[in-house]
Amino acid sequence: MNTPNATALRRDLAQPCNAVSPSTANPSRLNEMTQQSDDLAMLSRAFEDALTELLLEVLMEGGTSFDRQMKLRLARNRLRRHKDFTEKEYQAAVLRAARRALPSE
């Protein structure tokens, strides 16, 4: 199965700084790495969406519902538990959500 992400991973593995070459790489490991990357992107997007909804609700209604707070809390916890999670990616997701929710001047 050649997905765009798997192709990119194979290209990255071909770089001299990596110890594994594409010819000796385990295809199932490449698929696992691709799936984990997709999972992190999906979790990050879910967190961004939840934060955007919460920010919009605060701006429009002046408060937030318990449901939106819980949705954001769960999305944040899932994202932070991912083994490839970094604080830099988290901060970028917060900034993207704020940019989407807050009116631009």
The rounded mean pLDDT for the chain is 75
Q: What is this structure's pTM?
A: 0.62
**DSSP per-residue letters across the chain:** ---HHHHHHHHHHTSTTSS--TTTS-HHHHHHHHHHHHHHHHHHHHHHHHHHHHHHHHHHHSS--HHHHHHHHHHHHHHHHSTT--HHHHHHHHHHHHHHHSPP-
Which token pair is 100?
């989407």
pLDDT in tens, 59-98: 888 888 899 999 999 999 999 999 889 999 899 999 999 9
Domain segments of the chain as ranges:
4-101
